[in-house]
Structure 1
Amino acid sequence: MFKPADLPKTIPVFPLPGALLLPRARLPLHIFEPRYLAMLEDTMKTRSRLIGMVQPQPGPGGEGKGLYMIGCAGRLTAFSETEDGRYMITLTGISRFRILSEISGFEPYRRAEVSWEGFDRDLARPESDPGFDRPRFMSLLARFFEERHLATDWDSLKGAEDELLINSLSMLCPFAPEDKQALLEAPALTDRRETLATLIEFALRGGNNEEIMQ
């Protein structure tokens, strides 16, 4: 388990739209771009083996180089190399961070000076959600999955602990990058569950459909 003193002041950052990582959750990634292969090779040489996942901020025309200031660092916990030199990796979420500044250098990937302050709960035990009305939430979720033609293992979801359930759904549900960012920045699990439920309800009431579901 990481302690605050173990967290480095600078980390590589991986901007990937829609890819959300949360503390204690796992994110599989397929690495094939040369700059990120270089990032991965450098990361494996470090003691912490941390990579910061961040959402890029869209600029004019839908593209931009800006980053959201809050991301989540994951420790490289699994990787395998394909015959053509690509990697399949897994990052396990450790802690959120705030970007203080980007660091210029000769690396082909982006690096940032970061602060871990304000995210102490990320390094603690898994959170619970005492006010979680699970039957009501699961009913709402079932409507959302049916509407979007999504499939899942309902038995596994029903048996999952609060944090695993909410964080997994936050990472996997097809929301816009700005919505993913709102889920990431939710201070506590209760706030994330409320944000997730609001996003699901909004999707059911509108989105691109004219009909409002009751």
Structure 2
Amino acid sequence: MALSGRSKDESLPGVLPVFPLMGALLLPRGEMPLNIFEPRYLRMVRDVMGGDRMIGMVQPVDEGQEGDPALYGIGCAGRICSFVETEDGRFLITLKGVTRFKIVEELSSMTPYRQVKADYAPYEGDRLTPMPDAGIARADLIDRLTKFLDRRGLSAEWSAIEKAPDELLINSLAMICPFSPAEKQALLEAKSLRARTRTMISLMEFALADPLLDEDDQQPPVPN
């Protein structure tokens, strides 16, 4: 990924509350709307709103596991950039992705929500401003995307896709396309924007080669 020399000088918490959500993918500078209704996550949002407003989004490895499911080792920290409390007590928030992180360890906590010790060092580049043209295989991606969406009976705003800068295009597609949780994790862990693009093209080609491709979208993710 082509990067400029500017870095976002943001304070990153060493201890990060996490929101395990199967199938949810947040990437740096991406935005994710969330409907918070479970009491433990209402408490988490209240707590972080009084501080740095940072939450870690991370997928559980197996949500069918009893108790707190094991988590993937890599997640993405986001900052709450919008907050609305509904009349029935829910929180409608939007997280803006800041940087990926590696889970060093999960911490014992008195809070009802889970917290981890986070290491951001492997992803220092996430806070650098990307160049508008990152040199991705854009034509190849659009070709596979057209076939992928057509196969699933989905449509797209092609004018917006054509105008989108490379990072916005790739990360938005990674977040909204109906990939499996494991595939979304692979997109999250891609080392660069070019690598994420190559991974996405490969995932679309794999899906197109499957004669049993389910044309239904993934079900909405459910929090653990």
| Equivalent of 1:14 in 16, 19, 43 | 19
Q: Which amino acid aligns with 2:141?
A: F
Please give the alpha-carbon distance, in whole angstroms, between the structure 1 residues aligned to 2:108 and 2:155. 44
CA distance in 1: counterparts of 2:150 and 2:74, whole angstroms: 32
The amino acid across from 2:65 in the alignment is E
**Identical amino acids, percent of aligned pairs:** 49
Aligned residues: 206
3-state SS, counterpart of residue 52 of structure 1: strand
* Larger mean Cα displacement after TM superposition, 109-118 or 125-134: 125-134
Local SS of the residue matching 1:191: helix
Question: Counterparts of 1:150-161 in structure 2 under 5 Å?
Answer: 150-161=154-165
Residue in 1 that maps onto 2:136: 132
- The answer on 1:27 being equivalent to 2:32 is yes
Which residue number in structure 1 is paired with residue 169 of structure 2?
Answer: 165
Aligned to 1:104: 108
Q: Scaled by the length of structure 1, what TM-score is found?
A: 0.91
Provide the rounded CA distance (Å) in 1 between the counterparts of 2:213 and 2:13. 46
Residue 63 of structure 1 corresponds to: 65
Contact kept, 8 Å, 1:129 with 1:190, in 2: the verdict is no
> Following TM superposition, by how much is the alpha carbon of 1:207 offset from its aligned partner in structure 2, in angstroms?
6.2
Task: Check 1:91–1:207 CA distance in 2 against 1; reply closer, same or farther (3 A cut).
Answer: farther
Deviation at 1:151, TM superposition (A): 2.2
1: CA distance between counterparts of 2:167 and 2:134?
A: 11
Is the 8 Å Cα contact of residues 103 and 117 (structure 2) preserved in structure 1? Answer: yes
Task: Write out the 4+ residue segments of structure 1 that deviate beyond 6 Å after TM superposition.
Answer: none
1:118 is paired with a residue whose SS is helix
How far the C-alpha of 1:138 sits from its partner, in A, is 1.1
Q: Is 2:5 the partner of 1:3?
A: no
Higher relative contact order, structure no. (Cα contacts within 8 Å, ≥ 6 residues apart) = 2
Deviation, structure 1 residue 158: 1.0
2:222 is aligned to: none
Q: Supply the AA of the counterpart residue of 1:155.
A: S
Residue 61 of structure 2: SS of its match in structure 1? coil
**Contact map agreement 1:12 1:111 (CA 8 A) in 2:** yes
> 2:192 maps to what in 1?
188
| Distance verdict in 2 for CA 1:49–1:209, change over 3 Å | closer
User: Any idea what SS the aligned residue of 1:139 has?
Assistant: helix
Partner SS, residue 130 of structure 2: coil
Instruction: Go from structure 1 to structure 2 and tell me whether the alpha carbon gap of 1:169 and 1:209 turns closer, same or farther (over 3 Å shift).
Output: closer
RMSD: 1.8
Runs (5+) with no aligned partner, structure 1: none
Using the TM superposition, give the Cα deviation of residue 103 of structure 1 relative to its aligned residue in structure 2, in angstroms.
1.3
User: What displacement does 1:121 show?
Assistant: 0.7
Once the 2 structures are TM-superposed, how far is the Cα of residue 173 of structure 1 from its aligned partner? 0.7
Residue 183 to residue 84, structure 1, CA distance change in 2 (3 Å) = same
> What are the ranges of 5 or more consecutive residues in structure 2 without an aligned counterpart?
1-6, 215-224
Q: Provide TM-score, normalisation by structure 2.
A: 0.87
